[in-house]
């Protein structure tokens, strides 16, 4: 297996500047997830890694090999797509063996590798079936098997779970991570699904409009988002954002808007300390304390969503949409106006969306 080192990749399609100076480091054996909204350039980046597109500028190294100008077949990379791209007229066994046959691998070696991969993926009983006789999850496992038999340096996954239903998605997600660990593989995995990103990744790369806005271990990025975009993209339900202005209330700094008054720790957010400065207060739904009848900002509750294990109240605070997680027995119902306190806030510059937290 090998590390990946991407430096300053730029890619344009005509007038569309899809990747704008992307650099990514994936250590040997690591699971990297590229996450971002549809159209931000994730698949393009993966296709550049695989050699299916050529970069306008920048370089790609696999281990200590510069592969920037190599053909796909010379890169030693295996890719698993969203559409499984299985050959319909070939059995599972033949699908698994196909790439190896093309490479003129000796038949005994092919048989051994197909056996090993099918055992790993539980495909043994399905080897003589055709793809049409397989479920979506089984097809996806065959697609992964084709990557495994290649013994590639690097595995690339492009939204491999999006054609599966929710229950199966959770299951195959776990399988992919187990497989990665077992193979000692280096993997780059693309998804627009932040739950997949958070659960699979050793390191996530949040892509926005062709730029990596932030990278790091998932929980670190979740806890300390550097931009409002990153903050809004990770977490479900999403972080709440409230417009406010900074006020100096006799030495206490407060982000205020109507009856919203959030005390700001001067040491934590030194960049925010200017009277009248426009800021965006961010708070995740689970960091909101709903305290009926006490101090705090008014929360007009429009609906309460009970999901079984937890409940969420949806409504507005200071005119902005707002969601709060409720304690199981919280006496909050639709139509209520309750007071909320914000426990753990984030603070962003209202213009640029950049976090005002001290580095
Ligand atoms: N071959 C292509 N020709 C022209 N535009 C393309 C091509 N491939 C991708 N694009 C454009 O590049 C942008 C990023 O696409 P893509 O990498 O597929 O995004 P994602 O995978 O994040 O959804 C989109 O605006 C898309 O329309
Ligand atoms: Mg895509």
Q: Taking 70 as the threshold, does the pLDDT of residue 38 lie above it?
A: yes
Tell me if 257 CB under 6 Å of ligand 1. Answer: no
Q: Taking 70 as the threshold, does the pLDDT of residue 48 lie above it?
A: yes
Query: Which tens digits make up the pLDDT trace of 56-72?
Result: 999 999 999 999 999 99
Query: Which tens digits make up the pLDDT trace of 115-163?
Result: 999 988 889 999 999 999 998 888 888 988 998 898 888 999 999 888 7
Predicted confidence at residue 40, as pLDDT, reads 96
Tell me if 13 CB under 6 Å of ligand 1. Answer: yes
Tell me if 18 CB under 6 Å of ligand 1. Answer: yes
Tell me the CATH architecture of domain 240-349: Beta Barrel (2.40)
Pocket test for ligand 1, best of 41, 191, 197, 206 (most atoms within 8 A of CB): 41
Name the pTM for this structure: 0.91
Atom index in ligand 1 nearest the CA of residue 37 equals: 22
Q: What is the mean pLDDT of residues 73-91?
A: 86
**Given strand 297-306, what is the order of strands in its sheet?**
288-290, 337-342, 297-306, 311-317, 320-326
On the 0-12 / 13-18 / 19+ scale of CB atoms within 10 A, 152 is buried
Q: For 182, what's the count of Cα atoms within 13 Å in the CB-facing half-sphere?
A: 12
Least confident of 67-71, 182-186, 320-324, 329-333: 329-333
Residue span(s) of the chain under CATH 2.40.50.140 come to: 240-349
Count of other CB atoms within 10 angstroms of residue 154: 25
Tell me if 40 CB under 6 Å of ligand 1. Answer: yes
- Asked: is 4-224 a CATH 3.30.1360.230 domain? The reply is no
SS3 55: coil
Tell me if 153 CB under 6 Å of ligand 1. Answer: no
Tell me if 296 CB under 6 Å of ligand 1. Answer: no
How far apart, in whole angstroms, are the C-alpha atoms of residue 134 and residue 90? 13
Atom index in ligand 1 nearest the CA of residue 45 equals: 17
Of the candidates 306, 313, 316, the residue with the CA atom closest to the CA atom of residue 286: 313
Tell me if 46 CB under 6 Å of ligand 1. Answer: no
CA 206 to chain centre: 7
Tell me if 37 CB under 6 Å of ligand 1. Answer: no
Whether 246 and 254 have beta carbons less than 8 Å apart is answered as: yes
**Between 352 and 308, the higher pLDDT residue:** 352
Query: Which tens digits make up the pLDDT trace of 173-216?
Result: 888 898 899 888 899 999 999 999 999 999 999 999 999 999 99
Predicted confidence at residue 137, as pLDDT, reads 85
Tell me if 147 CB under 6 Å of ligand 1. Answer: no
Q: What is the mean pLDDT of residues 294-319?
A: 91
Query: Which tens digits make up the pLDDT trace of 278-305?
Result: 999 999 999 999 976 677 899 999 999 9
Pocket test for ligand 1, best of 10, 15, 16 (most atoms within 8 A of CB): 16
Q: Taking 90 as the threshold, does the pLDDT of residue 22 lie above it?
A: yes
Pocket test for ligand 1, best of 39, 189, 190 (most atoms within 8 A of CB): 39
Tell me the ligand closest to 36's alpha carbon.
1
Strand ranges inside 107-149, DSSP E: none
CA 149 to chain centre: 27
The closest residue, in CA terms, to atom 3 on ligand 1 is: 13
Predicted confidence at residue 336, as pLDDT, reads 93
Tell me if 87 CB under 6 Å of ligand 1. Answer: no
Residue span(s) of the chain under CATH 3.40.50.300 come to: 4-224
């Amino acid at each position: 297996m090998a590390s990946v080192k991407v430096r300053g990749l730029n890619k344009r399609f005509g007038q569309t500047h899809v990747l704008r100076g992307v650099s990514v480091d994936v250590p040997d054996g690591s699971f990297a997830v590229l996450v971002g909204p549809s159209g931000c350039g994730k698949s393009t980046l993966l296709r550049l890694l695989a050699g299916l597109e050529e970069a306008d500028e920048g370089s790609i190294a696999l281990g200590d090999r510069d592969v920037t100008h190599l053909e796909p077949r010379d890169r030693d990379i295996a890719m698993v797509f969203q559409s499984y791209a299985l050959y319909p007229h070939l059995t599972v066994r033949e699908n698994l063996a196909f790439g190896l046959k093309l490479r003129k691998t000796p038949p005994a070696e092919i048989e051994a590798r197909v056996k090993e991969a099918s055992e790993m993926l539980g495909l043994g009983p399905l080897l003589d079936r055709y793809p049409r006789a397989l479920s979506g999850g089984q097809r996806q496992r065959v697609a992964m098997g084709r990557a495994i038999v290649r013994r590639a340096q690097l595995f690339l996954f492009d939204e491999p779970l999006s054609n599966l239903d929710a229950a199966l998605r959770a299951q195959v997600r776990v399988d992919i991570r187990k497989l990665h660990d077992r193979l000692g593989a280096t993997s780059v995995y693309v998804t627009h699904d932040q739950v997949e990103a958070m659960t699979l990744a050793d390191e996530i790369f949040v892509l926005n409009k062709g730029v990596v806005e932030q990278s790091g271990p998932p929980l670190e990025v979740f806890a300390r988002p550097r931009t409002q975009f990153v903050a809004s993209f990770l977490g479900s339900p999403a972080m709440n954002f409230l417009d406010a202005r900074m006020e100096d209330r006799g030495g206490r700094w407060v982000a205020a808007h109507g009856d919203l008054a959030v005390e700001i720790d001067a040491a934590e957010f030194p960049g925010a300390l200017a009277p009248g400065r426009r800021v965006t207060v961010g708070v995740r739904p689970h960091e909101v304390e709903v305290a009926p009848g006490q101090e705090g900002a008014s929360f007009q509750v429009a609906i309460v969503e009970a999901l079984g294990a937890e409940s969420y109240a949806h409504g507005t605070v200071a005119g902005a949409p707002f969601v709060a997680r409720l304690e199981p027995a919280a006496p909050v119902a639709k139509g209520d106006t309750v007071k909320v306190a914000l426990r753990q806030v984030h603070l962003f510059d209202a213009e640029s969306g950049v976090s005002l937290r001290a580095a």
